[in-house]
Chains A and B, each alone.
Chain A
Amino acid sequence: MRLLAHNMLACNAKGVVNGFPLKIVVKETRETETEFNAEFLVHMLPKMEWAAFVNAAREIGAGELPGEIPDDAATNEEFLQAFHHALLEVHVEEGTLVCPESGRKFPINKGIPNMLLNEDEV
């Protein structure tokens, strides 16, 4: 799971009103190299829950990002590189996601978050 997915994932168990952001308990991460695509990054910016992203990047050791998206983000190479790295190049391999509201835990094994609910949670 990369932060691209983490920033979109939310707990959808019955009764949970705000299942975002899932807290990440990290056991193991892995880094890969991905092609840099500035245009995609700019496309993603308005979709991001930025505060949650900055926090998650810190939680998984994917780097420090500014607390707010800079005004010149689209042309700020240094910022985009840091964003790219944290969004797409760091994978949480083993760990747990925790719903901020219900405390429900979702394990991450072999890089795959298991968001399966029980029938009584739907």
Chain B
Amino acid sequence: MSRPELTAPADVFYSHTEARKYTQSSRVIEIQERLTERAVELLNFPDDGSCRLILDVGCGSGLSGDRLTELGHQWIGIDLSEAMLEHAREREVEGDVTRNDMGHGVPFRPGVFDGCVSISAVQWLCNADNSAHIPQRRLKTFFTQLYKCLKRGAKAVLQIYPDGPRQAEMITTAALRVGFSGGLVVDYPNSTRAKKYFLVLAAGPPESLPRAKGEDDDEDDYERRGMRMDGRKSDKGAKYRKSNNHKGKAWVMKKKEQYRNRGVHVANDSKFTGRKRKDRL
């Protein structure tokens, strides 16, 4: 399937026809709901069942918003596509929707939202739809204003479809540069189809990243570790050495031995065995 981001600007691509197709596809509905649910899980609110005020960036037709409502939250959404927003309204979503280009920022007072989710939208910022669009600048404006309208310490969980590692990095870097802490959580990293990127950000001091789903507990752990980035330079090595995910050379050797005994092919031992891999996406 070709990437919609490459076919037309978002407000053109998300026409009435597309909006109708979108809201009538049970597959789309299910995916939007599942992703929203996971995003809310990653927001990691205290488990008190309280209703919170959430910003939904790229709220579209409000499928994600419906899930927020079902989970007991109030939400305000922004989206560029008039057609998608009108569908949201026709569907009588509970939240308030507003037309806005996230690349121009988010038009809200400082410190008001308890959290932000965005489902399958932010990668659109990486495209330049006209000569006035400079992706880096649009990302910067978006993240700067997003940071401001969040309550201190509040989180934003942005599920994105980057077209590759470089785009994922571009989005992540833009967020960290304006002061967010956090990084990418990649669910099901080993499956091409189920793999999902969640940029988990906190408007405030860093905390540890939540665990991704569907990771094997062996060396694949390193993949996630490699993605973790802090806004400032940190001694990643120290964190890495302290964490119990780093099981050490002896442990790796033992595992390899077990696999060999089972007849599974494993790489030859070398001086690199059990070492941390280079950080990269």
Contact = CB atoms under 8 A, between A and B. Distances in A.
Interface in B74-103: 74, 76, 78, 80, 82, 85-86, 89, 94, 96-101
A39 B51 CA distance: 8
A74 B116 CA distance: 26
B112 A43 contact: no
A112 B109 CA distance: 18
A17 interface: no
Contacts of A8: 53, 76, 108-109, 112-113, 149
Contacts of B97: 112
Contacts of B149: 8
A12 B104 contact: yes
A5 B74 CA distance: 10
Given A12-B106, A39-B51, A122-B105, A4 B74 contact: yes
A4 B82 CA distance: 21
B67 interface: no
A34 B93 CA distance: 12
Contacts of A7: 109
A22 B266 CA distance: 65
Interface in B138-158: 141, 145, 149
Interface string A107-122: 0001111111101011
A9 B107 contact: yes
A7 to B, nearest CB: 8
B53 A47 contact: yes
Interface string A10-54: 111000000110000000000000100101100110010100000
Contacts of B50: 39-40, 43
B104 A113 contact: no
A49 B109 contact: yes
B104 A4 contact: no
Interface string A37-81: 101100110010100000000000000000000000000000000
26 contacts: A4-B76, A8-B53, A8-B76, A8-B109, A9-B98, A9-B107, A10-B108, A12-B105, A39-B50, A39-B51, A40-B50, A40-B51, A43-B53, A44-B53, A112-B86, A112-B99, A113-B98, A113-B99, A115-B98, A115-B100, A116-B99, A116-B101, A117-B104, A121-B104, A122-B105, A122-B141
Would you list the 10 A-B pairs with minimal beta carbon distance, nearest first? A5-B96, A40-B51, A119-B132, A12-B107, A114-B99, A115-B100, A115-B107, A122-B104, A8-B112, A8-B108
